[in-house]
Amino acid sequence: MQKSITTFLKHPTRDSSNRSANPPVIRASTILFDTMQELYRHEKKIKKHQKISHYSYGRYGSSTTIELENILKELEKAYHVFLTGTGFGGVALALMSLCRPGDEILVSDNVYGPTKEISEKLLREFKVNAIFYNPDSFEDLKNKVSKKTKMILVENPGSNTFEFQDLSKIVKLAKKKGIYTFLDNTWGTPLYLKPLTIGFDMSFSSATKYFSGHSDAMGGSLAVNRKVFKQIMFFYRLSGYRMAADEAYLIIRGLRTLDTRLNQHYQNTKKVINFLKKQKKISEILYPYKPSSKNYKLWKKYYSGATGLLSIVIKSKKKSSVIKFVNSLELFGIGYSWGGFESLAILQELRSKNKDEYLKGRKYFRFNKDQHIVRLHIGLEDPQDLINDLKTSLRYIK
């Protein structure tokens, strides 16, 4: 029977042995076999990428993580999904598996801070050169491609400044030049965009965010095509970048309501934006909320929906008043991450205070000294309560 994604997420897995609606949490380091011949046969099945219910050793995962892999394979339309203990572990897995001394990687300037840091700092020590390109300029990306380019790493949209890129153009360029492509799809999730189906080699999501949805689990998901599978599997098996069974169980639980939650995040976000766009102290809303908004066409071209993360640009000569605005919010927690049930707010420091500290600034994003970016995650609370909270706190901005 053919099922919609909504139905699939409600019935992806169950425990047939115990007749439970949820899979068991299997914590295991040693996996036992009846004979050496059985172990050998099982190792061959894994090597040939055949369907399995367990691994041969706990470092590769457990029955619980395999259940999550299978759900995400269907959601991503992937050849395989690698699960890591944190979201960032999935980024590191891709880079460490595929990049070698002498390579260059092209990295979108709007990427997550630690992604920028591993590209600029750590990979440099391994003689891999990271070159950052303007996410608002395909020509800038195209002009920076060289014979040494091994990978193009894209975050779409940027999770602070929300630039959307023309993904098909990037894929076409990469395929022509034989370059690997990686897309951080955490904002859109594979529910609204399936990067592998438009030609990307790797689709990454921080499972900590919307997959989990409850702010109580951490993990990463790296969905891949057949082209890069063997190289990543080699490093994955050696590195121990695996996800714990307990985290996998929590993320499976979260995925069952992914569609319902994302729709509500979006509905709440639209209502909050309708309020924000009328506020004179807010000079710009970084989110594709109307046809005339920045990058709306590129969002509409590739995505079937939108989620609850956005940024607002506040005009103020006093940074202290913007901080007071954030501090005075009652329903918006102050903290890193996003994608959970709760609303969050954080002042983003995108300027570099020291010209030599590249990682603390953005090379291609321009805003003047009287502009400040506050990132908001619109949660699942009553949107009118969120609006009232913002309205009360905006009066502190001078």
Per residue in 163-210, pLDDT (tens digit) is: 999 999 999 999 999 999 999 999 999 999 999 999 999 999 999 999
Can you give the length of the chain in residues? 398
What is the amino acid identity at position 29? S
Q: Helix-strand-coil percent breakdown of the chain, rounded to 5?
A: 40, 15, 45
- The pLDDT, as a whole number, for residue 367 is 78
What is the amino acid identity at position 76? E
Helix (H, G, I), strand (E, B) or coil at 385: helix
pTM of the model: 0.93
Residue 378 tokens read as: 């619109």
CB 119 within 8 A of CB 112: no
- Measured CA to CA, the distance from residue 48 to residue 78 in angstroms comes to 16
Segments of the chain with pLDDT less than 70 = 1, 14-18, 351-361
Residue 118 burial (10 A CB sphere; 0-12, 13-18, 19+): buried
- The pLDDT, as a whole number, for residue 356 is 44
- Measured CA to CA, the distance from residue 211 to residue 340 in angstroms comes to 9
Residue 396 tokens read as: 């502190």
Alpha helix ranges (H) inside the chain: 5-10, 36-47, 63-76, 87-98, 113-117, 123-125, 138-144, 167-177, 189-192, 226-239, 245-255, 258-276, 296-302, 319-328, 383-394
- The pLDDT, as a whole number, for residue 365 is 80
- Measured CA to CA, the distance from residue 310 to residue 288 in angstroms comes to 9
> Per CATH, is 258-394 categorized as 3.40.50.2300?
no
- The pLDDT, as a whole number, for residue 99 is 97
For residue 238, report the phi and psi dihedrals to the nearest 5 degrees.
-80, -35
Domain ranges of the chain: 5-255, 258-394
For the domain with range 5-255, which CATH number is right: 3.20.20.410, 3.40.640.10, 3.40.50.300, 2.30.30.40? 3.40.640.10
**Which residues contact residue 176 at a Cβ distance below 8 angstroms, ignoring those fewer than 6 apart?**
none
- Measured CA to CA, the distance from residue 93 to residue 238 in angstroms comes to 11
CB 348 within 8 A of CB 311: yes
Half-sphere exposure of 372 (CA within 13 A, CB side): 21
Which residue is associated with the tokens 């367990």? 54
- The pLDDT, as a whole number, for residue 17 is 64
